Structure 1
Amino acid sequence: MENTYAALLRHLIKFSGIKLSSLADFIGYDVSYISKWCNNINHPSSKYLTRINTCIASFISDEIVKQNLTYVFFNEFQINLSQHVSAEKIKKFLFDEINNMLFEAYYRENNTVATDENPAVANNCQQKTIIGRTNIKNFFITEIATVLNNITDDIEMYITGDIITLLDKQLFFNVFNFSSKNIDIHIGCNIQKLSNENLDFIDKLYNLFNHYIEITFHIHDDKKFQYSNIITVKNHFSLQYSLHNDNLIDICTYITDKTISADIYERTCEKFTADTYLIQPINDIELIKFRSFFYLNNYLLLFCAKGFEFFLPPQAFKNLLSTSTTYQYSSDMQQTIQNMQITWEEQFEKAHIDFILPAANIMHYIEEGQLSYGEIAYTTSPQERELQLQQLVKSMKNNPHINIFLLGQVQPYNKDSYFKLSYYSNNKTAYLKKDATFCSKNNKNIYLIKDFRLLYKFNDFFSTTIKKSDCSKFTADDIENIYKKNNALLHRIWLQSKQPV
């Protein structure tokens, strides 16, 4: 009698001459599972043991009867017949004997056996399964959150789950407070589902990017991996899970074994390719030449979350351009920046441009003068801001299709309440730009939107924003009157900030 389940299973398979692949197909498991059972790496889960043993016994007993090896089998496995068994009942008897042998071998190892449900016994707790959504929720809040929050080196994470579902169910991100300064998270998105989503999804997506401004998100079409159900973090752990029909996780297996987790990571990340990008993070410098063509379109929608880099007077732009040498821009790149400024000036005369400015943002800019022009951080002087305002009014009078919308955001009281993500669209191409103030130097600060469905939804989202009750439209006359009325106040603010007027 074999002492272990693995030894017995190997003996049964060898005796009957069946193939592992044939047995695996019959049971409905991958052949790798059967191989692990035979090699005593894992054992079947106790939860499914009855079905598995029944299938094995049925498949092997059928094969033994077909080969007319029944009595040879009894002799091989030292089974004594206490009574004569008819030919009609011999198969049932054979099945019962094999099934009983499997159960006895399984439980003979008692609680020391590693199973698919609890393999940690055999590999020093490097793998465990959590069952039940409440248990899984607690597991994410405690163990997973603790692991991720304590990682200080770079984090590279791949999530095959759908971003729409994650945001809808408020799963995963809301329990983390990352310590790492360099975090890349790749997530799938179901294109078919995206087409049917309303603007609530864009609101949630923008808020996710805005809240976790220091994280670099990569959004991919999930066509290559939508059934994988994997979360994997390079050099740390992997999770495999199953979803209930309400899209909540009801079973997940947590794997910390370095070899297995690394294999899962490699197999998963190779499915996230350049051609699957829906939203791709890039460096601002990569976008400079692109912007010259971007602003040639006759419709622009611009949500400015930091400063106001448009309508700069010539002297301010000259000073800004000289600052570009600090960023090691080549002469060719500086020429591109100049060309972009010329393009802007031409567009200000004819294009339809909707500027959306958070009230707190524009007040801060009027007081401090801080803006971002590409990767260049620049602070305008009070004189430059005054000339910029005058140029804005002049351009709006010359081109009535330039609109200023002021979003009545309350004064931010902490880092989380700021708008930190700008949006630029020309109706054909669009991108989101991070406020570098909130990011580390290694962050990619541009999200290039590469899918037209996402672009249209973002456009609709911001177009809807200007129709809300807390968003006010200002004409050239409105701005001019406000400027004249508050001119003295503005100069006092600038004097108080100790900047030369």
Structure 2
Amino acid sequence: MWQYRQAFKTLIDLTNTKLSTVAFSLGYDISYISKWNSGRKLPSSKNIYTINRKLSSLFAKVIIEEDKVDDFFTAFKINNTDVLKNDSRKGLEVLIYKLLNEAYMDSNQDLPMETISNTNFIFKNSSIDKDLREALEKIIGKKKKVDIWATFDINSHFAQVLMQIGKNLNKDVEFNLHLLCMKKNLDKLDILKKITDNSGINIELYEDPGIGYDIILIRETAYLILRQEEDFSLLTHGEELDTLFEISSYIMELFKGLNKVIALSQSEELAKSNYRKYFYSDNEFLFLSNYGFEFLLPNPIIDRIINEIDKDKDFKKKEVQGIKLLWEELFADAEINFLATRTGLLKYFETGEIFYCSLRAKLSTEEIQAHLNNIISVMKKNKNINFYIIKDNRPLQAMGLDKFNFFINENNMFFKKINGDGDLTSTSIVTDVKIHNKIHRSLEEIMDSDFSQKYEVDDLEKLFHKYVHVFKKMSHKA
């Protein structure tokens, strides 16, 4: 058996990690770390599992990055490498964590024989909702990013508990929630309504193949296993690294094999892919704008937006330049239906705020005027462009379509979700045909209903002139 000092020092030497780096990682004074390294003192038994967990993460990262996995197995005389098959870094973390725990147990004679368990088991003759909420709130704590994978339906009771937790988090917390959706519900808009009602949460959906158990995985943090029967309820949750690793491997492999219904894509991921280029290779489109109106911007305004992109966001600059060229060709002859809400347009005229691709931009009064002039100019050249203004938002609200900017062609669809603060969240790509067709049909029905009005180019020009004149007068008075 390894002594703690011996295991700790071997890992330090193997990874060439400075004691000051360990001290910073753990939040300890370097004098404590020096004593652990020399064997003069052991870490506190009260905090040993937290310490070993942080150390295992630190050492595993370096070993993987410096390609020293074989050296690690040789140094500690470990033969079984199966744990590294699915996720080598996480598997290595588990090995180091267990190794350090066992070494500590062997070194500290004062430590009770039974180890402190991080697993909690709750049995109730009634609902476990309160216990579940308390456990989740404690586990999530003050995290800035939460990534949850759950094996139950978006319409389920437990999903509502998770979404309520997400609603109560601070607005600066990134909350990603991966849920299932039953096949029979894929063409129902109440799914979209749930996503809309929880606009602060990034929800990704997978088709439910009929999984009959309820597991919540808080990625890299904790697991919760639930069971609710008619006359009793069970909740098991824990954070111990080896069990968490096993459950994580199982859940991630499970979701990998499921059909995605609505996929999340971060702005950088989307910008570096060819998705938008592929999307705009079609020739018929329907666009719904609930926030601003990013289309048909004059080139000087686009160039100004590009020039203001931070140097470390070069991927965005390349994306916008590519989209600019694509849109020039697209708007020349494509068949396009633009839908914009009256409230969204008025807000744009008032604030000048838009999202161009994944960039937030603010246009001046003069730029708004130039934008509107360009819309009219392009529409006069391309008679296949139609412009509809939705006068009443209630149909959109009833369907859950009122907080998204939708981009739709015959085969593809994505939407940009704007949260309550006017910030852009992850882009959602609709990959399920049923949902795609349902949303497409619903928007076409609204477009052709009494709730919206189609404007010919001359009437639209008069309307724009009227609105701009009003907002100019308001700005001068202010």
Length-normalised TM-score, structure 1 = 0.60
Task: Tell me the residue number matched to 1:240.
Answer: 226
Superposition CA RMSD, Å = 3.6
Going from structure 1 to structure 2, the CA distance change for 1:170 and 1:229 (only over 3 Å counts) comes to: closer
Task: Tell me the residue number matched to 1:481.
Answer: 462
Going from structure 1 to structure 2, the CA distance change for 1:344 and 1:274 (only over 3 Å counts) comes to: farther
| 2:184 counterpart of 1:201 | no
In 2, Cα distance between equivalents of 1:455 and 1:239: 33
In 2, Cα distance between equivalents of 1:343 and 1:387: 20
In 1, Cα distance between equivalents of 2:312 and 2:229: 48
Task: Tell me the residue number matched to 1:37.
Answer: none
In 1, Cα distance between equivalents of 2:474 and 2:324: 29
Task: Tell me the residue number matched to 1:159.
Answer: 150
The amino acid that maps onto 2:364 is: S
In 2, Cα distance between equivalents of 1:165 and 1:158: 14
In 2, Cα distance between equivalents of 1:199 and 1:124: 41
Unaligned runs of 5+ residues in structure 1 are 1-121, 245-249, 412-416
Going from structure 1 to structure 2, the CA distance change for 1:200 and 1:418 (only over 3 Å counts) comes to: closer
What percentage of aligned pairs have identical amino acids?
19
Farther off after superposition, 444-453 or 378-387:
444-453
In 2, Cα distance between equivalents of 1:392 and 1:363: 16
Q: Deviations over 1:242-300 (max 9, x none)?
A: 467xxxxx753111343496244443333111764322211223334432332231211
Going from structure 1 to structure 2, the CA distance change for 1:496 and 1:419 (only over 3 Å counts) comes to: farther
| 2:443 counterpart of 1:462 | yes
Going from structure 1 to structure 2, the CA distance change for 1:212 and 1:360 (only over 3 Å counts) comes to: same
In 1, Cα distance between equivalents of 2:413 and 2:331: 19
Return the offset for 1:187: 0.8
Return the offset for 1:385: 1.2
Task: Tell me the residue number matched to 2:290.
Answer: 305
Task: Tell me the residue number matched to 1:177.
Answer: 168
Going from structure 1 to structure 2, the CA distance change for 1:258 and 1:320 (only over 3 Å counts) comes to: closer
Return the offset for 1:181: 0.7
In 2, Cα distance between equivalents of 1:487 and 1:281: 37
**Counterpart mapping for 1:150-299 below 5 A:** 150-165=141-156, 172-174=162-164, 176-179=167-170, 181-190=173-182, 192-195=183-186, 197-205=187-195, 207-208=196-197, 211-213=198-200, 215-223=201-209, 226-234=211-219, 235-242=221-228, 251-259=232-240, 262=244, 263-273=246-256, 276-288=259-271, 289-299=274-284
Return the offset for 1:462: 2.7
Return the offset for 1:326: 4.3
Task: Tell me the residue number matched to 1:128.
Answer: 122
Other structure's SS at 2:380 match: helix
In 1, Cα distance between equivalents of 2:370 and 2:142: 48
Unaligned runs of 5+ residues in structure 2 are 1-115, 395-399
Q: Deviations over 1:49-74 (max 9, x none)?
A: xxxxxxxxxxxxxxxxxxxxxxxxxx
Return the offset for 1:345: 2.6
Task: Tell me the residue number matched to 2:104.
Answer: none
Task: Tell me the residue number matched to 2:64.
Answer: none
In 1, Cα distance between equivalents of 2:440 and 2:401: 21
In 2, Cα distance between equivalents of 1:146 and 1:445: 23
In 2, Cα distance between equivalents of 1:242 and 1:354: 48
Return the offset for 1:227: 2.0
**2:313 aligned residue (324, 328, 336):** 328
| 2:300 counterpart of 1:315 | yes
Q: Is the 8 A contact 1:280 1:448 kept in 2?
A: yes
Return the offset for 1:161: 0.9
The amino acid that maps onto 2:300 is: Q
Going from structure 1 to structure 2, the CA distance change for 1:399 and 1:251 (only over 3 Å counts) comes to: farther
The amino acid that maps onto 1:187 is: L
Going from structure 1 to structure 2, the CA distance change for 1:303 and 1:178 (only over 3 Å counts) comes to: same
In 2, Cα distance between equivalents of 1:337 and 1:232: 36
Return the offset for 1:137: 4.9
Q: Is the 8 A contact 2:390 2:451 kept in 1?
A: yes
* Count of matched residue pairs: 351
**1:425 aligned residue (403, 408, 414):** 408
**Counterpart mapping for 1:346-385 below 5 A:** 346-385=329-368
Q: Is the 8 A contact 2:128 2:235 kept in 1?
A: no
**Counterpart mapping for 1:49-88 below 5 A:** none
Q: Is the 8 A contact 1:220 1:277 kept in 2?
A: yes
Q: Deviations over 1:284-330 (max 9, x none)?
A: 23334432332231211112232211111122122122223545315
Going from structure 1 to structure 2, the CA distance change for 1:148 and 1:410 (only over 3 Å counts) comes to: farther
Other structure's SS at 1:152 match: coil
Task: Tell me the residue number matched to 1:61.
Answer: none
